[in-house]
């Protein structure tokens, strides 16, 4: 049986309006496919790969495109493809590691409409939405399944992420479009949520409200204003009420301090740690990037105190070239 929730072909959507009355075909014209090339020796090449593909959304008619940051981190080449097949070069303009957003500036005329930015705080579980990727207008009618905190293993935390279901198969950089046709967020991950009805495949969406306060700084300077957060280079996970180190970044602050895979993080400064939320909160309130952070790890049943001199994550990343 065909999946009727999937997007129709361009000819079928032209001029069509969804239940809320906005022009869906026009909204889909704002979404582009994105391909990025990253050098083999880039810091993120081993984890994220050297060829990355996803989507982006035109948010200014000047060709400013919002996407998810991991697609363009350390990108030396970016190519944008419109729904009608036109290919335009782009420049990786900005990265906000706190929210996870990335910005790309088209380097040639796109002549595409900009999608209006909405208010993710006004959305609620149960709301009908559309999750749309670039390319052949691959859209999916979905529902906001939940809004809750999200902790990522790569030193990343959102107080309130948006989760949608069913999950879009091409989630990276996809647009979350509200019933009024406005942009509510950008797709980041495919996750399995535990619900009362059982496991549910969902997309984790970064809320658009996180962009508004930093957008001008990102456009002007490539990063948010203010000091960078301390970064340790730790990939960790919660397991039975413990924070276990799954890996440490090569030559990162944690590795230099002697942290190892399999260590259990039990305390940061004088605070006990029982969740990733605890770990990140204590780390980030220690001071700006560069501050030394005492961390207790349990290894082989014994506690060890490490003094980790944090860093600015951005200092480990290659800067994009402007072609």
Answer for the pair 186, 27: CB distance below 8 angstroms, yes or no: no
Give CA separation, 232 vs 248, 293, 321, in Å. 8, 9, 26
Between CA 21 and CA 302 the distance in angstroms is: 63
pTM of the model: 0.91
Between CA 137 and CA 25 the distance in angstroms is: 9
Q: How many domains does the chain have?
A: 2
Residue 168 within a domain:
yes
Q: Domain boundary at 226, 252, 280, which?
A: 226
**Tokens encoding 252:** 């990162």
Comparing CA positions, the residue from 118, 244, 236, 136 lying closest to residue 186 is 118
Residue 323 within a domain:
no
Q: Domain boundary at 183, 209, 226, which?
A: 226
Over the stretch 233-264, which tens digit does the pLDDT of each residue have?
999 999 988 999 999 999 999 999 999 999 99
Where residue 19 falls among pLDDT bands split at 50, 70, 90?
low
162 and 179 assigned to the same domain: yes
**pLDDT (0 to 100) of residue 3:** 34
Give yes or no for residue 1 having a pLDDT over 50. no
Over the stretch 261-279, which tens digit does the pLDDT of each residue have?
999 999 999 999 999 999 9
33 and 127 assigned to the same domain: yes
pLDDT, mean of residues 118-138: 92
108 and 251 assigned to the same domain: no
What is the rounded average pLDDT for all residues in the chain? 92
Over the stretch 65-79, which tens digit does the pLDDT of each residue have?
999 999 999 999 999
190 and 69 assigned to the same domain: yes
41 and 162 assigned to the same domain: yes
| Residue 34 belongs to domain with CATH number | 2.40.10.120
| Residue ranges making up the domain that contains 192 | 1-226
Give yes or no for residue 209 having a pLDDT over 90. yes
Between CA 19 and CA 129 the distance in angstroms is: 11
Over the stretch 189-198, which tens digit does the pLDDT of each residue have?
999 988 878 8
| Residue 251 belongs to domain with CATH number | 2.30.42.10
Q: Domain boundary at 192, 226, 260, which?
A: 226
């Amino acid at each position: 049986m065909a999946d009727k929730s999937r997007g129709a072909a361009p000819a079928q959507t032209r001029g069509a309006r969804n239940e809320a009355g906005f022009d869906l075909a026009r909204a889909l014209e704002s979404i582009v496919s994105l391909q990025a090339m990253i050098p083999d020796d880039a810091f993120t090449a081993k984890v994220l790969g050297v060829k990355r593909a996803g989507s982006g959304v035109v948010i200014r008619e000047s060709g400013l495109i919002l996407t998810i940051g991991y697609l363009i981190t350390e990108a030396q080449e970016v190519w944008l493809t419109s729904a009608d097949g036109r290919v335009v070069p782009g420049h990786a303009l900005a990265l906000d590691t706190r929210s996870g957003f990335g910005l790309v500036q088209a380097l040639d005329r796109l002549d595409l409409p900009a999608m209006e930015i909405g208010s993710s705080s006004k959305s609620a579980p149960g709301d009908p939405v559309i999750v749309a990727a670039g390319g052949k207008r691959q859209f999916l009618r979905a529902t906001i399944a939940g809004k809750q905190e999200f902790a990522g293993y790569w030193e990343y935390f959102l107080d309130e992420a948006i989760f949608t279901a069913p999950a879009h198969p091409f989630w990276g950089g996809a647009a979350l479009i509200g019933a009024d046709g406005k942009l509510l967020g950008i797709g980041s991950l495919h996750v399995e949520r535990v619900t009362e009805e059982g496991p549910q495949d969902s997309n984790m969406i970064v809320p658009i409200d996180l962009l508004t306060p930093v957008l001008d700084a990102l456009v002007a300077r490539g990063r948010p204003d203010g000091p960078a957060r301390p970064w340790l280079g730790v990939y960790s996970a919660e397991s039975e009420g413990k924070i276990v180190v799954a890996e440490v970044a090569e030559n990162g602050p944690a590795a230099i301090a002697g942290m190892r895979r399999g260590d259990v993080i039990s305390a940061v400064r004088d605070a006990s740690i029982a969740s990733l939320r605890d770990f990140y909160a204590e780390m980030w309130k220690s001071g700006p990037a560069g501050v030394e952070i005492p961390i207790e790890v349990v290894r082989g049943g014994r506690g060890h105190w490490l003094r980790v001199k944090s860093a600015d994550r951005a200092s480990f990343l290659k800067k994009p070239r402007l072609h």
